[in-house]
Amino acid sequence: MITDPQVGQRRSFGGQLCTIRYVGHVEGTTGDWLGVEWDDPSRGKHSGEHKGVRYFTCRCKKKLFTPASFVRPSRPADKPRGFLEALRGKYASGFEEDLAGQDSTSSGSVSTQDTIRFNGKIAEEVGFEKIRKKLAELHELKIVILDGLLMAGLLEKEVPADRREQEREAVQKTCPKITELDLSRNLLTRWTDVKDICDSLHFLRILKLDGNRFGPIEKDLNFGDVTELHLNDTLLDWNEVSSLTRQFPSLTSLSAFANQLSLTTGPLTNTITTLKLEHNDFDSLAALCDLTALPKLEQLSLKGNSISTVYDTDSEVRDRPLRFSDTLKSVDLSYNKINSWLFVNKLADVFPGLDNLRITGNPLYNQPVASSAVTGLQERPMTVDEVFILTLSRLGRLQLLNFSKIAPTDRTNGELYYLSLIGKELSASPAASEPKILATHPRYQELCDQYGEPTITRASESINEGAVNPRSVAARLLTMTFKLPSSPPVDDRDLQTSHDTKVQQIPRGYDTYQVKALVSRLFKLTPYSFKLVWETDEWDPVSKQITDEDEWDSDQDDGDIHAADLTSVKSMESKSKYIRREIELADSTRDIGFLFQDGLNEVIIRIDRLL
């Protein structure tokens, strides 16, 4: 039964949920209209106005959508349901028909033990026994999902208090063991209706109300032992969310996705440990300053907002430093608008207990690692590995980054690489700029104390060129020049083959597998489709038949070839008596630093494709 239309009432037309925002006349038309706001914001044709006159305001504020329409009050609406009707309709299909059938046979014409048989087999039980089995199934339910079943509340319409009490008792007898209840995307508007249902379920702990549109929050509500509450896409503002959480004295987990929230304007109940505010409109961490008062907060998800800064203005830094509780360990900042490493640098101060961070999908990681003036290479977006190591290097407490556990070798290699980039940045800048540059790298001194200072050689200084401090970062890095032949050589002496060449600095702690993985990404090669060959500076003699034209003096010392001048070496190479020594980098978990020792800092690696 559909009651007279009222503002705030929920209705469904053809399965499309909406909320009545206006009842009355529309200028230029005849008769009355209902102004409705559709739950689906793309369903309507306007935002509550007609010919320049605004008749109502929608709760949805998305600029690209028109969530409103005018419909006639006579338009047929879908029939609402009560809680038990929706429950039986989903979990005990046919229950109502069976119950109605028993009423018509109560005169005793059908026995409770009667059955219908085909060839001696029972096809269907007839009577109260079948109903008792369905009731028994409902009685054992613990997780109940009544999503999108047009449920209006405890009952489908308003009834006297004594009738409501009878229905609460019926709910308690029918499904007393429910621990998780999903009432999302229904016709709920009053919190008292939700409370009537919850009061009948003494074991309820998880309550989901996503997609409903509630009116004002009534006073003196108490949702007992509910510990997890979902309010996603309810369009509640922050004051309503804040007020509501205080009606849940045992609440530890709150989810409020997609509610257009942009600023916290009051505290939440201090029992919360997990808070999910994904896909809202927060643009800075300072907009969440009220959350710093949560003493037990452990997990905070801010995925899919518009966060780009920590503070809105510099004055806020001085007047109200932002610092969350030390209990907050896990933060999700993925898919925001973070575009500066300065933001990442500040996370250690804002979240002093942070050890688990997710920060993928931000524009920061579409930028180059550093400018070409610093790296000496063509600018390119960061690789996945560079995103990983450059982030963990700035946050010394992290244990998990983007769901990946940070191994000790990952941290060492990452921090060495980061320190080398700082050294290059300092080398590419005048000495007067050093304080300003180091201010953007707050961990610089800490890393220098641990690994040694990077070698800084400015163009104007060039002191002791070529010398490498054994304690410096440069001594822990290896410059590898990778050469990929553009076409296979005709023979071993074909020196005219062109190459695709890339230069990378690699920590000596990498093993061969890690180097090959890097090469795969750099040259877009399939893993295990190539081998790496080190072209050394040493030469080996080649056994060759002696001819009159090429004589050999047996008294000559083979070792003298290494002292020969460049001309004689080229001459011997052209006669194929000596070839450059090549060593394949065999697959191994051993550090490449063990292979390239004795002060060797630059090597040439050829990439040979496997047939």
Backbone φ and ψ for 557, nearest 5 degrees, come out as -85, 120
Q: Average the pLDDT over each of 159-168, 430-439, 538-547 and give the range with the smallest value.
A: 538-547
- Which tens digit of pLDDT belongs to each residue from 228-267? 999 999 999 999 999 999 999 999 999 999 999 999 999 9
| The pLDDT value given to residue 381 | 72
Measured in whole angstroms, the distance separating CA 425 from the mean position of its chain's CA atoms is 31
How far apart are alpha carbons 237 and 260 in whole angstroms? 8
pLDDT value at 113 more than 60: no
480 shares a domain with 399: no
| The pLDDT value given to residue 456 | 83
Closest CA to 576 of 484, 487, 488, 494: 494
| The pLDDT value given to residue 320 | 67
| The pLDDT value given to residue 349 | 94
506 shares a domain with 452: no
Q: CB pairs under 8 A, 24+ apart, for 370-374?
A: 370/421, 370/424, 370/425, 373/428, 374/421, 374/424, 374/425, 374/428
| The pLDDT value given to residue 522 | 87
Beta strands in 449-601 (DSSP E): 477-485, 499-507, 530-541, 578-584
Amino acid at 361: G
Helix then strand count (H, E) for the chain reads: 15, 26
pLDDT value at 220 more than 70: yes
> How does residue 177 score in pLDDT terms, banded at 50, 70 and 90?
very high
| The pLDDT value given to residue 573 | 44
Task: Tell me what percent of the residues of the chain surpass a pLDDT of 90.
Answer: 49
| The pLDDT value given to residue 252 | 97
Amino acid at 132: R
What is the helix (H) or strand (E) element at residue 410, kind and residue range?
Answer: helix 408-427
- Which tens digit of pLDDT belongs to each residue from 405-428? 999 999 999 999 899 889 888 888
pTM of the predicted model, to two decimals?
A: 0.71
Backbone φ and ψ for 357, nearest 5 degrees, come out as -130, 140
Question: What would the two tokens of residue 138 be?
Answer: 């409902």
> How does residue 543 score in pLDDT terms, banded at 50, 70 and 90?
low
pLDDT average, residue stretch 300-325 = 81
pLDDT value at 608 more than 70: yes
| The pLDDT value given to residue 384 | 83
Mean pLDDT of the chain: 82
Higher pLDDT, 108 or 119: 119
| Beta bridge partner(s), residue 540 | 579
Higher pLDDT, 147 or 581: 147
> How does residue 542 score in pLDDT terms, banded at 50, 70 and 90?
low
| The pLDDT value given to residue 471 | 54
Domain, as residue range, for 586:
474-488+498-541+576-610
| Residue 129 domain flag | no
pLDDT value at 544 more than 80: no
pLDDT value at 539 more than 80: no
For residues 122 and 116, the answer to whether their CB atoms sit within 8 Å is: yes
Closest CA to 392 of 423, 354, 429: 354
| The pLDDT value given to residue 337 | 95
- Which tens digit of pLDDT belongs to each residue from 253-263? 999 999 999 99
415 shares a domain with 448: yes
- Residues 6 or more apart from 502 whose CB is under 8 A from it? 481, 482, 522, 523
Question: What would the two tokens of residue 343 be?
Answer: 């933001």
In the DSSP assignment, the letter for residue 587 is -
Beta strands in 111-169 (DSSP E): 115-118, 121-125, 143-145, 151-153
Query: Residue 136, Cβ neighbours under 10 Å: how many?
Result: 10
419 shares a domain with 372: yes
> Which one of 29, 56, 71 terminates a domain?
71
pLDDT average, residue stretch 437-446 = 93
| Residue 297 domain flag | no
pLDDT value at 436 more than 80: yes
502 shares a domain with 452: no
pLDDT average, residue stretch 116-144 = 63
pLDDT value at 61 more than 60: yes
Complete DSSP assignment for 171-240: HHHH-TT--EEE--SSS---HHHHHHHHHT-TT--EEE-TT----PPPSS---TT--EEE-TTS---HHH
How far apart are alpha carbons 76 and 79 in whole angstroms? 9
The CATH number of residue 602's host domain is 3.10.20.90
For residues 578 and 569, the answer to whether their CB atoms sit within 8 Å is: yes
pLDDT value at 293 more than 50: yes
437 shares a domain with 379: yes
| The pLDDT value given to residue 111 | 40
509 shares a domain with 405: no
Task: Tell me what percent of the residues of the chain surpass a pLDDT of 70.
Answer: 78
- Which tens digit of pLDDT belongs to each residue from 20-51? 999 999 998 899 999 999 999 998 999 999 88
pLDDT average, residue stretch 275-281 = 97
Higher pLDDT, 383 or 539: 383
| Residue 31 domain flag | yes
How far apart are alpha carbons 407 and 168 in whole angstroms? 55
| Residue 414 domain flag | yes
503 shares a domain with 437: no
pLDDT value at 370 more than 80: no
484 shares a domain with 407: no
How far apart are alpha carbons 444 and 438 in whole angstroms? 7
The CATH number of residue 40's host domain is 2.30.30.190
Place of tokens 């054994």: 470
| The pLDDT value given to residue 227 | 96
> How does residue 317 score in pLDDT terms, banded at 50, 70 and 90?
very low
| Residue 350 domain flag | no
pLDDT average, residue stretch 155-183 = 91
How far apart are alpha carbons 500 and 300 in whole angstroms? 46
> Which one of 48, 71, 94 terminates a domain?
71
Number of structural domains in the chain:
3
| The pLDDT value given to residue 499 | 77
| Residue 81 domain flag | no
How far apart are alpha carbons 344 and 361 in whole angstroms? 14
479 shares a domain with 591: yes
> How does residue 561 score in pLDDT terms, banded at 50, 70 and 90?
very low
SS3 readout for 24-71:
EECCCCCCEEEEEEECCCCCCCECCEECCEECCCCCCCCCCCCCEEEE
587 shares a domain with 484: yes
Strands 68-71 and 32-38: antiparallel
| The pLDDT value given to residue 488 | 56
> Which one of 25, 43, 71 terminates a domain?
71
| Beta bridge partner(s), residue 484 | 500
| The pLDDT value given to residue 528 | 84
pLDDT average, residue stretch 202-221 = 93
- Residues 6 or more apart from 323 whose CB is under 8 A from it? 292, 349, 350, 352
| The pLDDT value given to residue 567 | 42
| The pLDDT value given to residue 131 | 52
508 shares a domain with 449: no
| The pLDDT value given to residue 64 | 80
| Residue 478 domain flag | yes
| The pLDDT value given to residue 109 | 37
| Residue 212 domain flag | no
Can you give the length of the chain in residues? 611
